[in-house]
C-alpha cells in the first residue's frame, strides 16, 4: 500500500493565483482530513470528510474549498492565494473509532506539501 500520497511536494504561487492540492489514500479509510502547519506551530484542521460526498469545516477553513467525490481522493482548493496561506499542508486519513476496547483509528499522514505564496 502507498498509504496517503500528496502532490505536489512543493509549490510557489503568486498572490491571487489558484491551485489544487491533491491527496489520495489506498487504505479504504472513511475519514480524511486537511491540516496546515505554520512555522513553529502545531497542525490546525482546515476541513474534514467522513465519507464520499460529505465534508465539514474545521478550525481554519477560510480561503479553502474541498470536495470528496470518491473514498480515495480528497483535494484541497485554494481559489485566491494570499501570503497568509504560506504553510505546509498535511492530508491524513483514518477509520472512525467504533467503541472502546476495539482497535482505534490511527490517523495516517501524507508527507506534506510546502506552499509559498509571494
Partner 1 sequence: AQTVTQSQPEMSVQEAETVTLSCTYDTSENNYYLFWYKQPPSRQMILVIRQEAYKQQNATENRFSVNFQKAAKSFSLKISDSQLGDTAMYFCAFMKRSSNSGYALNFGKGTSLLVTP
User: What are the angstrom distances between the C-alpha of 80 and each of 12, 26, 30, 63?
Assistant: 13, 30, 29, 7
Quote the least distance from Cβ 49 to partner 1, whole Å: 8
Cell numbers 504561487 label which residue? 13
**Closer to partner 1 by Cβ: residue 22 or 107:** 107
Number of Cβ within a 10 Å radius of residue 101: 6
**Closer to partner 1 by Cβ: residue 83 or 96:** 96
**Closer to partner 1 by Cβ: residue 26 or 106:** 106
**Three-class secondary structure of residue 83 per DSSP:** helix
Quote the least distance from Cβ 16 to partner 1, whole Å: 27
Site residues for partner 1 per CB under 8 A: 31, 33, 35, 40-45, 48-50, 56, 58, 88, 90, 92, 94, 96-97, 100, 104-107, 109, 111-112
CB 57 within 8 A of CB 73: no
Amino acid at each position: 500500500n502507498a498509504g496517503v500520497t500528496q502532490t505536489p511536494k512543493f509549490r510557489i504561487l503568486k498572490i491571487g493565483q489558484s491551485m489544487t492540492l491533491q491527496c489520495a489514500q489506498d487504505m479504504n479509510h472513511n475519514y480524511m482530513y486537511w491540516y496546515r502547519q505554520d512555522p513553529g506551530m502545531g497542525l490546525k484542521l482546515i476541513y474534514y470528510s467522513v465519507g464520499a460526498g460529505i465534508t465539514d469545516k474545521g478550525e481554519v477553513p477560510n480561503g479553502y474549498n474541498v470536495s470528496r467525490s470518491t473514498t480515495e481522493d480528497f483535494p484541497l482548493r485554494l481559489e485566491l492565494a494570499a501570503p497568509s496561506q504560506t504553510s505546509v499542508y498535511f492530508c491524513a486519513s483514518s477509520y472512525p473509532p467504533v467503541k472502546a476496547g476495539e482497535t482505534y483509528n490511527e490517523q495516517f499522514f501524507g508527507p506534506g506539501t510546502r506552499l509559498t505564496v509571494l
